[in-house]
Structure 1
Amino acid sequence: MIVRIMGEGQVKLDDSHFIELNKLDDELLEEMESGDEDGFHRTLGALLDAVRRLGTPLPDDSLEPSELILPSGDATLDEVREMLSDDGLIPG
């Protein structure tokens, strides 16, 4: 799956990593619902770090369609709320 981190670029992620990423996404959703802004920023950072660590960066000149778009690390709680689906940022 091709994942875009807004403001950074794209990475290719193997589907097997989505179990780990979904755990972080669930935690992020809980923090958003409770209004825990510090926890939200910590977990968003952990989620993006995991995507960077587990994924293979695509070249900057590559224009692959992104199947998943994640916010930048400095996104606000309100900005991320606008991006959410019923499943959170990561479907599944």
Structure 2
Amino acid sequence: MKTYQIHGKVISDIKIISTSTGTPFARFTLEHKDKPYNCLIAGQKAFNFLYEVKNGSFLLLEVLPNERKQLVVKQYELKQKLTTSFQYKGLHYPHKKFNR
């Protein structure tokens, strides 16, 4: 089987579609040259992928095409990670009351 390297942007949410067999499968859509591709990633990589990659991330993938014209991911590299800002404004607990 011939492997290909493609790069693109994730344009859908990553969904875990099967864990009943013991092997997790994740599904997402990648946009490469303005064309969407359905991609699958299997095994423990699926959980790591779900944790690292978000909608809008840029990836470099090493893939194998299957008979349904989906791309099965063998390896991935995160090119541009989206940054999420976390704004912490301090504790929201009330002040302690002192009895005099």
Give TM-score, length-normalised by structure 1. Answer: 0.26
Higher strand residue share: 2
Give TM-score, length-normalised by structure 2. Answer: 0.25
Higher helix residue share: 1
Based on CA coordinates, which of the two structures has the bigger radius of gyration?
2
